[in-house]
Amino acid sequence: MDIRAILAGLAFALMWSSAFTSARIIVADASPLAALTLRYLISGLIGVAIARALGQSWRLTPAQWRATIMFGVLQNTLYLGLNFVAMQTVEASVAVIIASAMPLLVALAGWLFLGDRLGVLSVVGLIAGFTGVGLIMSARITGGIDLYGVMLCIIGLLALTFATLSVRGATSGGNFLMIVGLQMLAGCAALAVATVLFETPRFTPSWPLAAAFAYTTLVPGLAATFVWFWLVNRIGATRAATFHFLNPFLGVAIAALLLGETLGPRDLLGVAIIALGILAVQLSRHQKT
């Protein structure tokens, strides 16, 4: 892994982890589903426009369309939609810790349902990762955390895990930027329906809202996606996924720095255990490839 790949991996982890803090800022002044619908409309149109400028086609195969719509709805509508709703009452650090368990859950589900084989290092990593999550969440629950918001984050995590497993092995046919843009537009369409059915849109103009919305649309929404695909093309998906172990650290650090969320010794210990667990699982997968 060369220095450019390392820097790209660090940049991706930083951008992904920061999305929870910017989302927390957004939902303070805007209704979550309406804000997310607008975000994906803008991000999707920009992504499709860039893809067209690069010569990529939106004429996908039926299998690509199915994967694109399924992933768009599961990730962009369910996973992020539920997280945005939850972060009206749940701290960004809690949401990022739950979401960071995704690589662990994908590995566990692959073993349970798809026949994936787990090495000793993977098993140790899974036990450590889920122990870290339990350590943090037990402390937060006794501290009076909103359990409904936590439940929404967990359901969103399950949706993202299912999306990841369901499209595993799907190919983009060279149109990966176009597919990313179309995924965002699929999520936008589903979110628009959810907004009409379940939400009364609200909007309180403020500079923090404008800055957070622009940031989450352009940086975690577009830039992080482009960096991720560049990284996967350069070093492969398994090696690229190793950078996910940084997400718990970066996510809680950014939330503490920008939102003033408090972190106790038990939280820091749990974050360290989760990160090591994710790293162990990813390293085990790397050894098999």
**Angle ∠(133,165,181) on CA atoms, nearest 5:** 100
**Angle ∠(202,206,209) on CA atoms, nearest 5:** 75
pLDDT value for 89: 92
DSSP string, 143-185: TT--HHHHHHHHHHHHHHHHHHHHTTT---TT-HHHHHHHHHH
Helix/strand/coil for 251: helix
The two three-digit tokens of residue 252, written as one number: 């809680």
pLDDT per residue of the chain (289 residues) written in tens, 0 to 9: 678 888 888 998 899 899 999 999 999 999 999 999 999 999 999 989 988 998 888 888 888 888 889 888 998 899 999 999 999 999 998 898 888 888 888 888 888 887 777 788 888 888 888 898 888 888 777 777 888 999 999 999 999 888 877 766 555 566 778 888 898 999 999 999 999 999 988 999 999 999 999 999 999 888 887 887 778 777 766 677 778 788 888 888 999 999 998 877 888 888 888 888 888 887 776 665 5
pLDDT value for 288: 59
Q: Environment class of residue 19 by beta-carbon count within 10 Å: exposed (0-12), middle (13-18) or buried (19+)? A: buried
Neighbours of 258 (CB within 10 A): 16
Q: Give the separation between CA 224 and CA 233, rounded to whole angstroms.
A: 14
* C-alpha dist (Å) from residue 252 to 42, 260, 264: 28, 10, 11
pLDDT value for 3: 85
Q: Give the separation between CA 111 and CA 105, rounded to whole angstroms.
A: 10
